[in-house]
Amino acid sequence: MKPLLSVSVLLALLISCNANPSKKENEMSENFITEAQSNKVISTMQDSLGEPVCFRIERGVQQVAALWRESDGTAAEFADFCKTSFVSDEAQLDKLFNTLERNFEVFDGYFHKIDVLLKEPLQLEGEEITPVDMMFGSYDVTSHLNDDLYANKIAFLAALNFPFYSLQEKTELGEKWSRKEWAYARMGDRFIARVPAAIQQKISKTLTEADAYISDYNIFMGKIRNDNSEQLFPDEMKLISHWGLRDELKSNYADTIRGLEKQRMIYTVMKRIIDQSIPQQAINSDKFTWNPVTNKLFSANAEVAASPEPDTRYNVFLANFHAMRQLDAYYPHYPSQILRAFDATMEIPQKDVETLFKGLLSSPEVKEVAAFIESRLGRKLEPFDIWYDGFKARGGIPEEQLTAITSKKYPNLKALEADLPNILVKLGWKPDRAKEISSLIVVDPSRGAGHAWGATMRNDISHLRTRIGAAGMDYKGYNIAVHEFGHTVEQTITMNDVDYYILNGVPNTAFTEAVAFLFQKRDLELLGLKNPNPEDEYYLALDNFWSSYEIMGVSLVDIRVWEWLYDNPDATPAQLKEAVINAAKDVWNTYYADVLGGKDETLLGIYSHMIDYPLYLPNYPMGHLIDFQIGQQMRGKNLADEMERMFTRGRIIPQLWMKNAVGSGISIEPLLASTKAALNALKK
């Protein structure tokens, strides 16, 4: 078959189609309406309509003024629009809200369905991706929607009548808001930026290309050789970076014969990916054998010249940065991707997130847990032991045995999809409710490691994407699929059972990760392998702690790199690579070297999320903390009942959601206390 075009070639093809930006694309978000003009309108309207609506008038007019452009009309037309479109009557305001909410669901839902279908050739198993597939898959069907909604004044109507509240204001006021007031506040979040369609298209294209690069970044493990030219991994083993490599490394704790050697080999492969010394010929190809230690390639036992990957990893990362930076000028409330990631999306300030992470990373429990792991392994810890997996029950079960079970149970996608209601029943849902939820979830064959993609309108389908080979689902795939099933269950419940459409979902992605973790940690139980061991609770706490320890450091690296990028916006891919490596070394030396060894270790730079999900990584450790607190709340209770109670609160701010769900905000203290108790109990 014709070889797949490289990402760099696809990038050039796609950019050439949009090489000349339009005047509208370059239009910055400078205010056309002056402060004096908007203040005059505010004063006139307040005098006319009175005290009860003064705040809404002031906030709404200011918001419209910030979004209004010369092309929308004159200052007089701006004033006339505000005076005639402001709704002061509560009953009429409620009617307006219902109309906007209903129609936004129509837009969101059907545009999402188009997006899912256009991206199928990129995300699902099938024929090789073509340039045309990439063009369609990177097309953002919604990119002109906001332009149209501003042009016909619907966006201005919403912004005028439903005020935007900052995160600080939501934190101070939200606890006393009714459900309707929260819904109104979320309507106020809808139109706070006016991003030109051309920029949205470019961002969509760039992120799609990054996802395609990562989705096709596989290592053929059967082609790896050690210094004795021995093959350590099966012929058919093909692992995506970093997920597959990490999970294979984890699985080898159960291999007492050659597991350590294989782990060291995977560790070396990872370091080659980070510093881009990996041969290009070893990526997604089985044509050559490769010794990662010597970095030599062979064909029929004869050495061949190796060409290192030309900083493609960091070129893709840099493209994401430049794409997201284009949004800065259009978000007056959140003028950087860092602020958008924390204050706008996560809705937890960056300093609060870092305080939580650094608190756990610096805690005395780290060295205590490390010493406990060392005693179990019978050797000094090495850097890759950041992924120690022996606290889970499966840590003592060879992966081959688990794969034998999963491949028989799930020989194909249909078998997994048919079993979804049974899985939910095992987790506590009643049969009818289990069928109702699973009827809105389909299983698709993933080109990548697997992911979940929820619906954006009620009664639409959520997609569980996973990998199942010709021999059936292996254990790694099953474990990931259970995680992704957790996402789709949350997505289905929070889309269909939250009282207001505009409140659908969860406070941020850390919460959906928490649900996924709740499901994933029960993967053996769902296979009928749960060990009724009274010590399981202790090992669960240690597993959560060590997982948090791992991913919190990775997240700090991600944050530091984004801060560096904003300080060095003209950096080259080579300079970005150096910055990532330096950040990884610095965080490692601060929080890991004394525990796992390896001064100036670069391992924290391996995560693929850094490349294709801009500043997503901090959601994972937050998910671990949330997951642990929710898990404690659910102890001794029905998981299904508690999940439905908690998650039907919908998308309010995280700390308030947690107070309603478990009685306190997000904290490391419950996990630290449980870790200490677990160590004391297990040492006896």
Are 108 and 41 in a shared domain? yes
User: In this structure, what token pair is assigned to residue 238?
Assistant: 């093909």
64 domain residue, yes or no? yes
Q: How far apart are CA 509 and CA 524, in angstroms?
A: 25
140 domain residue, yes or no? yes
Q: Is the peptide bond before 322 cis (omega within 30 degrees of 0)?
A: no
Which residue, 193, 213, 233, sits at the end of a domain?
A: 213
Are 158 and 29 in a shared domain? yes
pLDDT digits (tens, 9 = 90+) for 389-422: 988 755 568 889 999 999 999 999 999 999 999 9
260 domain residue, yes or no? no
pLDDT at residue 424, as a whole number = 98
pLDDT at 524 over 60: yes
The residues with which 240 forms a beta bridge, in sequence order, are 218
Mean pLDDT computed over every residue of the chain: 92
Q: What is the mean pLDDT of residues 305-322?
A: 97
Are 365 and 506 in a shared domain? no
pTM of the predicted model, to two decimals?
A: 0.83
Q: What is the mean pLDDT of residues 599-628?
A: 94
522 domain residue, yes or no? yes
Strand order in the sheet with 296-299: 289-291, 296-299, 302-304
Are 409 and 548 in a shared domain? no
pLDDT digits (tens, 9 = 90+) for 287-297: 999 999 999 99
Are 184 and 40 in a shared domain? yes
Which residue, 213, 245, 271, sits at the end of a domain?
A: 213
Question: 601 with 582: CB under 8 angstroms?
Answer: no
pLDDT at 140 over 90: no
- SS3 of residue 465 by DSSP: strand
Q: How many domains does the chain have?
A: 3
pLDDT digits (tens, 9 = 90+) for 341-375: 999 999 999 999 999 999 999 999 999 999 999 99
CATH of the domain at 431: 3.40.390
Are 430 and 460 in a shared domain? yes
Question: Quick one: 168 exposed, middle or buried, by C-beta within 10 A (0-12, 13-18, 19+)?
Answer: exposed
DSSP conformation class of 379: S
Q: What is the mean pLDDT of residues 227-234?
A: 96
365 domain residue, yes or no? yes
pLDDT at 645 over 70: yes
Q: What is the mean pLDDT of residues 499-514?
A: 92
pLDDT digits (tens, 9 = 90+) for 1-45: 323 333 333 333 333 333 333 444 444 456 899 999 999 999 999
Q: What is the mean pLDDT of residues 69-87?
A: 97
What CA dihedral angle connects 74, 76, 81 and 84, to 10 degrees? -160
pLDDT at residue 178, as a whole number = 97
Which residue, 495, 526, 557, sits at the end of a domain?
A: 526
Q: What is the distance, to the nearest Å, from the Cα of residue 524 to the centroid of all Cα atoms in its chain?
A: 25
pLDDT at residue 535, as a whole number = 82
Q: Which residue segment(s) compose the domain that 421 sits in?
A: 398-526
DSSP strand pairing (441-445 vs 462-466): parallel
DSSP conformation class of 340: I
pLDDT digits (tens, 9 = 90+) for 164-208: 999 999 999 999 999 999 999 999 999 999 988 889 889 989 999
pLDDT at residue 406, as a whole number = 96
Q: How far apart are CA 291 and CA 642, in angstroms?
A: 51
pLDDT digits (tens, 9 = 90+) for 91-136: 999 999 999 999 999 999 999 999 999 999 999 988 889 999 999 9
- Ranking 82-91, 284-293, 462-471 by mean pLDDT, the lowest is 462-471
Q: Confidence band (pLDDT; 50, 70, 90) for 57?
A: very high
pLDDT at residue 531, as a whole number = 59
Are 467 and 573 in a shared domain? no
320 domain residue, yes or no? no
259 domain residue, yes or no? no
User: In this structure, what token pair is assigned to residue 494?
Assistant: 């929070």
Q: What is the mean pLDDT of residues 249-256?
A: 93
Are 515 and 558 in a shared domain? no
Are 80 and 209 in a shared domain? yes
Are 513 and 604 in a shared domain? no
456 domain residue, yes or no? yes
Q: What percent of the chain has pLDDT over 90?
A: 82
Are 26 and 167 in a shared domain? yes
Question: 626 with 519: CB under 8 angstroms?
Answer: no
Q: What is the mean pLDDT of residues 210-219?
A: 94
Characterize 243-270 residue by residue with b for buried, 16 or more Cβ atoms within 10 angstroms of its Cβ, and e for exposed.
Answer: bbbbbbbbbbbbeeeeebebbbbbbbbb
- SS3 of residue 165 by DSSP: coil
pLDDT at residue 467, as a whole number = 87
Are 513 and 575 in a shared domain? no
